[in-house]
Amino acid sequence: MATQDRIYDAIVVGGGHNGLTAAAYLARAGRSVLVVERRPIVGGACVTEEVIPGHRVSFTSYIASMLMPTVIRDLDLGSHGLRMVACDPILTVPLGDGQIIRWWADPERTAREIARFSASDGAAFLEVDRKLKALAAYLQPFFLEPPPDLAAKGLDKLREGLRLARRFRKINGVEMGEMVTFLTGSLGDFLDRHFEAEETKRMILANSVYGKHGGPYEPGSAVGMLFHLLSGGDHSVQGFNGHVMGGMGAITGAIAAAARGFGADILTDAPVARIDVEQGRATGVTLADGRSFRADVVLSNADPKRTFLGLVDAAHLPADFRADIAAIKMGGPAAKLNLALSGEPTVIGRAPDASPLERSLLSIAPTLEGAQRCADIARFGDIPEHLWIDCVIPSLVDDSLCPPGHHMMTCFIQFVPYKLREGTWDDHREAFADSIIRQITRHMPDLPEKIIGRTVLTPLDLERTYGLTEGNIFHGDLHPGALFSMRPVPRWSQYRTPVDGLYLCGAGAHPGGGVTGAPGHNAAMQVLRDRKRRRQR
What contacts 257, CB < 8 A, 6 or more positions away? Answer: 80, 81
Domains defined for the chain, CATH in brackets: 7-46+255-325+476-536 (3.50.50.60)
pLDDT confidence tier of residue 209, bands split at 50, 70 and 90: confident
Q: Count CB atoms within 10 A of the CB of residue 232.
A: 26
User: Can you name the residues that pair with 389 across neighbouring β-strands?
Assistant: 364, 413
Q: Which residue has the higher pLDDT, 316 or 330?
A: 316
pLDDT tens column, 94-124:
998 889 999 999 999 999 999 999 999 999 9
Helix (H) or strand (E) holding 440: helix 425-441
What length does the chain have?
Answer: 537
Residue 138 pLDDT > 90, yes or no?
A: no
Whole-angstrom distance, CA of residue 89 vs CA of residue 111:
13
SS3 sequence of 47-58: CEEEEECCEEEE
Mean pLDDT of 329-348: 95
Task: Identify whether 511 is preceded by a cis peptide bond (ω within 30 of 0).
Answer: yes
pLDDT of residue 175: 79
Helix (H) or strand (E) holding 534: helix 518-536
Strands (E), 165-289: 231-232, 237-238, 242-244, 265-267, 272-278, 281-287
pLDDT of residue 221: 87
pLDDT confidence tier of residue 453, bands split at 50, 70 and 90: very high
- In this prediction, what percent of the chain has a pLDDT beyond 90? 77
Whole-angstrom distance, CA of residue 237 vs CA of residue 228:
11
Mean pLDDT of 8-15: 98
Which three-class secondary structure state does DSSP give residue 335?
A: strand
pLDDT of residue 536: 77
Mean pLDDT of 266-272: 98
Mean pLDDT of 457-485: 92
pLDDT tens column, 475-531:
998 877 888 899 999 889 999 999 999 999 999 999 999 999 999 999 999 999 999
DSSP strand pairing (272-278 vs 292-300) = unpaired
Residue 3 pLDDT > 80, yes or no?
A: no
pLDDT confidence tier of residue 421, bands split at 50, 70 and 90: very high
DSSP strand pairing (407-414 vs 334-341) = antiparallel
Whole-angstrom distance, CA of residue 205 vs CA of residue 415:
13
Q: Rounded to an integer, what is the distance from CA 103 to the centroid of its chain? A: 21
CA torsion sign, 121 to 123 to 126 to 132?
Answer: negative
Mean pLDDT of 413-438: 96
What is the DSSP secondary-structure string of 478-490?
Answer: -SGGGSGGGSSST
pLDDT confidence tier of residue 62, bands split at 50, 70 and 90: very high
Residue 537 pLDDT > 80, yes or no?
A: no
pLDDT confidence tier of residue 140, bands split at 50, 70 and 90: confident
